[in-house]
Amino acid sequence: MLSVVRRLWSGGVAGKPVSLRRQIELCNQVGLFGAAATIPYQFFYFFYDFALYRGVFLANLLFIATYLLVLVLNHRGWYNTARNLLLVNACSQLFVVTFFISAGAGVHLFYFTLAAILVFLFQHLPVWLYSAIMTVFGSLYVAAHFLFPQGSVPAPVPSPWIDIMYGGSVAGVLTLSGVFLYLFRKSIDQAENELTINNRHLETLSTTDPLTGLANRRGLDETLEREWARLSRHPGVLSVIMCDVDHFKRFNDRYGHDGGDRCLQQIATALRSVISRPSDLVTRYGGEEFALILPGTDEEGARFLGVKLRVAVQGLAIPNADVGKGACVTISVGVSSIDHFRSDGAACLLKRADEALYRAKEKGRNQVVFLPYSSPRSSGKGGS
C-alpha cells in the first residue's frame, strides 16, 4: 500500500533536477494528504445529518477533486500551475469549511501546516513573496477564527462532536506537519547521498586517464604528495619508476592513432599486471609516458620491478615494423628511491626518476637505469 502511495506522489519526477524533484513530490504529497484528511469529515457530514451538511459535503468533493488534479498537472509537467492551484485550493477549503461548521471545529488550524511547508513548495521563493503569502495565511486564519463562531454558521457541529472534531484537527495539523517534514528530511538525505556519489564519481573522473583507465597526472601528484607527507611523519622508503614507450612516434605514424591507442592500452594492462600491492600506483604520466609510485619499496625492490615491467611489455610482442624487421614495442625505464625524508619535495624524486629514464634512452632504449635520490649529479648502475 505504501509503495502505491509513494508511486502516486512520485509522478512526474523522473529525470528532473533534485530541487525540482523535491518540489514536485512535496506538492503531490500535500495534494494526497489534503484529500485524505478531508475524508473523515465527509463521513461525519454524510452519516450524521446529510441534509444539514449538504453544502459543506459537496464543497469538499470539489476540493478533493482539485487536490487530485494537482497530481495530474504535475504528471503532465505543469509544476507551477499545480503548486499555485494547490495553495489556492487549500486556503479556500479551510476558509469555506470553517464558514459552514464554525471555527470551533479547528479546521482553520491547518493554515499552520501550510505555513510550515510553504518554503519547500518553491525552488527560489523571494523574501517579499514569502512574507506576502505568510501574511495571507495569517489573515485568513484570524478572519476565520473571529468571523465564524459556533452560533453564527449555517451548519454548526453540536457538542460533543465539535470538541472531538477540534481534537482531530489539532492531531491532524501536528501529524501532517510532522509527516511532511519527515518526508522532506528523507528527501534531503537522499539528495545528499546522490551528491556524495556524484562527487566521488567526478573526483574519480578527474584523477583517471580515460584511455587506459589508469590514474592520470593529477592522481600521480596527489598520491606522491600524500606519500611524501607520510614519509615525513614515519621513516621509511619510497620509490618512483618512470617508463616511456620506445619509438612511439614512429609506431603512431605507421599504425595510426587508433593503433597507438590500442598499444597504450595493452601496455597499461601489462604494467598493472606486474603490480600486486594495493598501495602501489600505476599512472599514465602523459602521452606515451607512465609512472609508478611504490611506497615501502627500496632500491632493490624498485630495480626488480623495473626489470619486470620492461620484460612484461616486451612479452606483449606488439610489432613495430618501422623500427626494424621483427622489432616489437619496448619501454625504457628510469628508477629512483629515497630511504629517508628530505625537505626538497616529492617533485625532486619524480625528476630524479625522469633523469634515470633519459639515461636509459641514451644507452639504447629497452633499458632499466637507477639513479639514487641522494646524488642528483651522479648516475647509477643500469640494469636490464
Q: What does the pLDDT read at residue 379?
A: 41
Q: What does the pLDDT read at residue 82?
A: 92
Q: Would the pTM count as exceeding 0.85?
A: no
- Do 272 and 196 lie in one domain? The reply is no
Final residue in a domain of this structure, among 176, 205, 234: 205
List all residues 6 or more positions away from 293 whose beta carbon is below 8 Å from its beta carbon. Answer: 220, 223, 224, 227, 238, 239, 240, 280, 281, 283
Question: Is 329 within the bounds of a domain?
Answer: yes
Question: Is 286 within the bounds of a domain?
Answer: yes
Indicate if 362 belongs to the active site.
Answer: no
- CATH for 321: 3.30.70.270
Q: What does the pLDDT read at residue 381?
A: 44
- Do 10 and 36 lie in one domain? The reply is yes
**Residue 223 in contact with residue 293, Cβ under 8 Å?**
yes
CA-to-CA separations, 310 to 28, 229, 383, in angstroms, rounded: 63, 30, 11
Cα separation of 291 and 271, whole Å?
A: 10
- Do 60 and 120 lie in one domain? The reply is yes
- Do 266 and 190 lie in one domain? The reply is no
Question: Is 172 within the bounds of a domain?
Answer: yes
Q: What is the mean pLDDT of each run of 10 residues along the chain (384 residues)?
A: 61 68 84 90 93 95 96 89 94 96 94 87 84 94 94 91 92 85 77 78 78 91 90 90 94 91 95 92 94 94 96 94 84 92 81 95 94 59 46
pLDDT digits (tens, 9 = 90+) for 27-80: 888 898 899 889 999 999 999 999 999 999 999 999 999 999 999 998 888 989
Final residue in a domain of this structure, among 151, 170, 205: 205
Cα separation of 380 and 340, whole Å?
A: 18
Question: Is 151 within the bounds of a domain?
Answer: yes
Find the farthest-apart pair of alpha carbons in the chain and give their distance in angstroms, rounded. Answer: 109
Question: Is 298 within the bounds of a domain?
Answer: yes
Question: Is 212 within the bounds of a domain?
Answer: no
- Do 254 and 369 lie in one domain? The reply is yes
Q: What does the pLDDT read at residue 182?
A: 83
Total residue count of the chain as it appears in this document: 384
Closest CA to 334 of 377, 383, 298: 383
- Do 67 and 186 lie in one domain? The reply is yes
**Residue 281 in contact with residue 220, Cβ under 8 Å?**
yes
Q: What does the pLDDT read at residue 12?
A: 63
- Do 116 and 238 lie in one domain? The reply is no
> Residue 94's beta-bridge partner residues?
none
Q: What does the pLDDT read at residue 260?
A: 93
- Do 269 and 161 lie in one domain? The reply is no
- Do 39 and 181 lie in one domain? The reply is yes
Number of domains in the chain: 2
Cα separation of 305 and 329, whole Å?
A: 19
Question: Is 210 within the bounds of a domain?
Answer: no
Active-site choice (25, 227, 288, 299): 288
Cα separation of 208 and 200, whole Å?
A: 12
Final residue in a domain of this structure, among 205, 232, 263: 205
**Residue 370 in contact with residue 336, Cβ under 8 Å?**
yes
Beta strands 368-370; 331-338: pairing state: parallel
Residues of the domain holding 267 = 217-383
- Do 222 and 193 lie in one domain? The reply is no
SS3 at position 22: helix
**Cell match 642528483: residue?**
376
Q: What does the pLDDT read at residue 377?
A: 45
Question: Is 211 within the bounds of a domain?
Answer: no
Q: What does the pLDDT read at residue 352?
A: 93
List all residues 6 or more positions away from 75 whose beta carbon is below 8 Å from its beta carbon. Answer: 11, 12
- Do 196 and 244 lie in one domain? The reply is no
**Residue 366 in contact with residue 351, Cβ under 8 Å?**
no
- Do 224 and 196 lie in one domain? The reply is no
